[in-house]
A and B are shown apart, each in its own frame.
Chain A
Amino acid sequence: MAFETTQPGFWARVQRASVERLHIRLESLVVLLALSTAMALLSPYFLSLSNFLNILLATSTIGVLAIAATFVIGSGGLDLSLGSVMGLAGVAGAFVAVNLGWPSVLAVIACILAGAIAGYINGQLVTRAFVPAFIVTLGMLGLARGLALVISQGRAIYGLPPEIVYIGQGRPFGIPMPVIIFVLTAIVAHAVLAYTRFGRHTLALGDSEGAARAAGIRVEHHRRIIYTLSGALAGLAGLLFTARVNAGDPTAGINYELTAITAAIIGGTNLFGGRASILGTMIGALIMGVLQNGLTLLAVQSYYQQMAIGAVLILAVFIDQYQVRKESRV
């Protein structure tokens, strides 16, 4: 039997409090600070307000995808189609605005709706056809990318109306619009995941589907909502990206799911569900952003950046699983 005979150390207590109250893992915060300090020492350009906004701007698309990944993985699922759905959504929005010439509002709706539909299909297949999420979303990764190329005939769609471009390039009060949208989305998502019944049920579902079912939670229904939400967020990311580069690019978002899932895992999301926090994921997304920004400032080739992201993902899961095993040995 496990009795608490000794008081846990100071670090352990602070750690526990941060996990319980703020829903973040302190290690990720330490890594972010260490990484930022290292970059600041290595590059004179790193520490500046404009570079900080640059990092946030570059993180905003990935950050929104990472929020989606956090909900899905927290619920015990997986969405590998995030990057492709993001690309499809951007093309759909550009197609509506440019090829159809419809008002910008409809183009914005088209982006998010295209993502939500892809996510809804994922959810239906996972919960009704009993195809594993890994396969369903891997299939959707191919389907969405292919459809984006079909719609755009393989070429980027240029000539977006100014309202849409403002979403990507506008700077009210000097702050880039994507950053504002990203931060607002994160705040709402954090409140939903940490403090609402929907969020708690999401984590309970990822923790133990049997317990959730016994508690009267409509498990399949809940999963469908989460996959649809994930798709809609990928649609929002597609909108931000398309508006920023001022083009509906069918190849946008390739491999972004890799970075998004990595950010979620670094932020403390349990790969197998049951534990997740948006605040943690934001720290994870910033770590990825600082890493990419810093490597770029240090003039490291982007090929190496890809390798760094892959390595960080494996390292993050290794550390997480190592801690889980250590805790269960108590």
Chain B
Amino acid sequence: MTLLSLRGIRKSFGAVDVLHGVDLSVAAGEVIGLVGDNGAGKSTLMKTITGIYRADSGAIEFDGKDILALDPGQRRQLGIEMIYQDLSLAKQQDVASNIFLGREPTKRLFGLFPGFVDKGEMDRQASKMIERLGAHLPSINRSVGSFSGGQQQTVAIARALTFNPKLVIMDEPTAALAVREVQSVLDLIRRLKSEGIAVILISHRLNDVLSVTDRIVVLRHGRADADLVTANTNMNEVVSRIVGGGDIAAAAAHEQRG
């Protein structure tokens, strides 16, 4: 079943054409790798999906609904969630505070004064979410800034899950992580997939993309230049599609080493 489908998406900023008619479809529970060189239009494409940019022309359907005219908040309510590379975490606040930032559950203090944050409820729910992800954090009451990069990524993913998304877009989630941490984040992505949540993974780390995705879409010069089934492709093919000619062998060899 197709969850998200883009047809002929075009977007330009003034005289600069960034997207020249992108076609892309994502099925429920599918993990898609979106790769491409710098300037290929990955970020612009993602922002037209989340609604930060409005596509100039083309059609976007999500869950059977035309969402082209919806703003980011409405799209998020439908189930499109994005985790940015900087994670947007408040580093001095604890796990629950970050997960519930902006929509803290409240209760009445002494049954009288409304508007008091229900910290106990927040902590309980936050623990549940971390558990659901099968992740381990040193303590739910510690400030997020004291965690490692992978643990912070876990918090960001847990926060995204509280909206019950159907699609999670992750921008370079493994770029700044240690080797072992990369594995735990890739495990989290597999966990999302097993729960029927679709993931679009934007990454320069092709090894990660090859190990976790079902399909790989190569964006080149503002078009979806290739749509490869991960099981039937390899590093060389992906790299050659990204650079599109030139010294393919050298580029591929470089990636293989890196």
A207 to B94, CA, bound (A): 12
B141's nearest neighbour on chain A, judged by CB, is: A20
> Are A4's CB and B138's CB within 8 A?
yes
Is A2 an interface residue, CB under 8 A from the partner?
yes
CB-based contact A195/B102 at 8 Å: no
Collect the chain A residues with CB atoms within 8 Å of residue B203's CB: none
B176 at the interface (CB under 8 A from A): no
Q: Given A211-B88, A215-B101, does the pair A1, B181 have CB atoms closer than 8 Å?
A: yes
- Contact check, B101 vs A204: say whether CB atoms are below 8 A apart: yes
Please, which residues of chain A bring their CB within 8 A of the CB of B91?
Answer: 207-208, 274
6 pairs across A/B with beta carbons < 8 Å?
A2-B148, A195-B116, A197-B117, A201-B102, A207-B93, A216-B73
A-B contact sample (4 more), CB < 8 A, given A1-B181, A200-B104, A274-B93 = A2-B147, A4-B138, A200-B93, A215-B102
Q: Is the CB of B88 within 8 A of A214?
A: yes
Question: How far apart are A195's CB and chain B's nearest CB, in angstroms?
Answer: 5
Chain A residues 168-216 with CB under 8 Å of chain B are 191, 195-198, 200-201, 203-204, 207-208, 210-212, 214-216
Q: A208-B91, A214-B88, A270-B92 are in contact. Are A200 and B180 (CB under 8 A)?
A: no
Answer whether residue A275 sits at the interface, using C-beta atoms and an 8 A cutoff. Answer: yes
Contact yes or no, A1 B102, CB < 8 A? no
Tell me the residues in window 149-181 of chain B with beta carbons closer than 8 Å to chain A beta carbons: 150, 178, 180-181
Q: Which residues of B contact A (CB under 8 A)?
A: 73, 84, 86, 88-94, 97-98, 101-104, 106, 109, 115-117, 119, 138, 141, 145-148, 150, 178, 180-181
Report the Cα distance A319→B16, complex, angstroms.
Answer: 51
**What's the dominant secondary structure at chain A's contact region?**
helix
Q: Which residues of A lie under 8 Å from residue B93 when comparing CB positions?
A: 200, 203-204, 207, 274
Contacts of B109 in A (CB 8 A): 191, 195
Say whether B90 contacts A208, CB under 8 Å.
yes
State which of B73, B106, B117, B180 has its C-beta within 8 Å of the C-beta of A1: B180
* Closest chain A residue to B180, Cβ basis: A1
The answer to whether B117 and A274 touch across the interface, beta carbons within 8 angstroms, is no
CA distance A299 to B90 in the complex (A): 47
B76 to chain A, nearest CB (A): 9
A330 at the interface (CB under 8 A from B): yes
Q: Tell me, in angstroms, the Cα distance from A201 to B148 when the chains sit together.
A: 24
Assess the B90–A212 pair: CB atoms within 8 A: yes
Cβ contacts under 8 Å, A210 to chain B: 86, 88
- Chain A minimum-CB-distance residue to B84: A214
Given A197-B115, A211-B101, A274-B90 contact (CB < 8 Å): yes
Instruction: Return chain B residues, CB-CB under 8 Å to A117.
Output: none
- Write out the residue numbers on chain B whose beta carbons fall within 8 Å of the beta carbon of A270: 92
Cβ of A313 under 8 Å from chain B: no
Please indicate the chain B residues that have their CB under 8 angstroms from the CB of A275 in the complex: 92
Give A327 to B143 CA distance when docked, in angstroms: 11
Which among A1, A207, A327 is the interface contact of B148 at CB below 8 angstroms?
A: A1
Assembled-state Cα–Cα distance A20/B73 (Å):
33
- For the complex of A and B, list the 4 residue pairs with the smallest distance between their C-beta atoms, beginning with the closest: A215-B102, A207-B90, A274-B92, A215-B101
Q: How far is the CA of A317 from the CA of B146 in the complex (A)?
A: 21
Q: Does A217 contact B (CB under 8 A)?
A: yes
A124 and B138 alpha carbons, distance in the complex (Å) = 42
